[in-house]
Amino acid sequence: MAREQLNSTSYNWNAFPDRPALAAALAGRVADHLTKAMAERGTALLAVSGGTTPAKFFAALSAAPIAWDKVIVTLVDERFVPASSPRSNAGLVAANLLQNAAKAARFVPLYHEAAGIEAAAASDDAALRSLPWPLDVVVLGMGPDGHTASFFPDADGLPRLLDPASDRIILPVHAASAGEPRLTLSLARIIDAGFIALHIEGEDKRTAFDGAVAPGPRKPVRAVLDAAPRPVEVFWAP
């Protein structure tokens, strides 16, 4: 079955017949961009998302024969839970991406013990300024409600989270639908990435994405598409 491609001014739609095919293709694209970044500036900065969707992609990327010792991996967002929690994105990345060849990568987590989410966000924001920004690659996910990163539709202060001119790297998030408080990369840092991918799977996610790009109230994922200076590459499989 041929790969389906649908293009728009704000995104390129890449559809695959199944999830293993998507994982292989996305891993190949990400590895190519990381290799290019390393050739140009000696290092590469990658931000990835959590959830259940990226496990196959992580496994494929972990085996990519690139100079992983020159790659820094961090998270798009994180729940305010320790890495030992089954809800930790850091734990998911450790178990699925930082394996095989990718064991050599440097991982920079977002969670650490702090008095609260605001203190953790402020500490992270200061610490992460030493990383070699901008991101070379960011891989986003999306929920059925149209959230991406931790930009939930019901988040407190959503306009601040979605400010494309923010000078913050990490912001705290409070949203009833998110469960725990969260830490998230700012929209400004996400859209500054050299390569932006949105990885979604299943008919429910396709329906949600179609709704987000249709006329009407703007979902958070649409805010990313609208603000990004280059088309976002959307990878989807049934």
User: Has residue 227 been placed in a domain?
Assistant: yes
Instruction: Tokens for 131, please give them.
Output: 């990383």
- The tens place of each residue's pLDDT in the chain, 238 residues long, gives 344 555 678 999 999 999 999 999 999 999 999 999 999 999 999 999 998 899 999 999 999 999 999 999 999 999 999 999 999 999 999 999 999 999 999 999 999 989 999 999 999 999 999 999 999 999 999 999 999 999 999 999 999 999 999 999 999 999 999 999 999 999 999 999 999 999 999 999 999 999 999 988 889 999 999 999 999 999 999 9
Instruction: Tokens for 53, please give them.
Output: 């969707």
Q: Do 75 and 49 form a contact (C-beta atoms < 8 A)?
A: yes
User: Has residue 80 been placed in a domain?
Assistant: yes
User: Has residue 82 been placed in a domain?
Assistant: yes
User: Has residue 25 been placed in a domain?
Assistant: yes
Q: What is the pLDDT of residue 51?
A: 87
User: Has residue 6 been placed in a domain?
Assistant: no
CA 120 to CA 227: how far, in whole Å?
27
User: Has residue 218 been placed in a domain?
Assistant: yes
CATH at 132: 3.40.50.1360
129 Cα distance to chain centroid: 18
Q: What is the pLDDT of residue 2?
A: 40
- Domain holding 91, by residue range, is 11-237
Q: Do 201 and 19 form a contact (C-beta atoms < 8 A)?
A: yes
Compute how many other C-beta atoms are within 10 angstroms of the C-beta atom of residue 48: 25
Q: What is the pLDDT of residue 158?
A: 96
> Which residues touch 146 (CB under 8 Å, ≥6 apart)?
153, 208, 211, 212, 219, 220, 221, 222
Question: Strand, coil or helix: what is 195?
Answer: strand
User: Has residue 138 been placed in a domain?
Assistant: yes
User: Has residue 26 been placed in a domain?
Assistant: yes
- β-sheet with 11-15: strand ranges across: 4-7, 11-15, 232-237, 195-201, 137-140, 44-48, 71-75, 106-108
Q: Do 198 and 148 form a contact (C-beta atoms < 8 A)?
A: yes
Instruction: Tokens for 100, please give them.
Output: 């095989």
Number of domains forming the structure of the chain? 1
CA 224 to CA 187: how far, in whole Å?
7
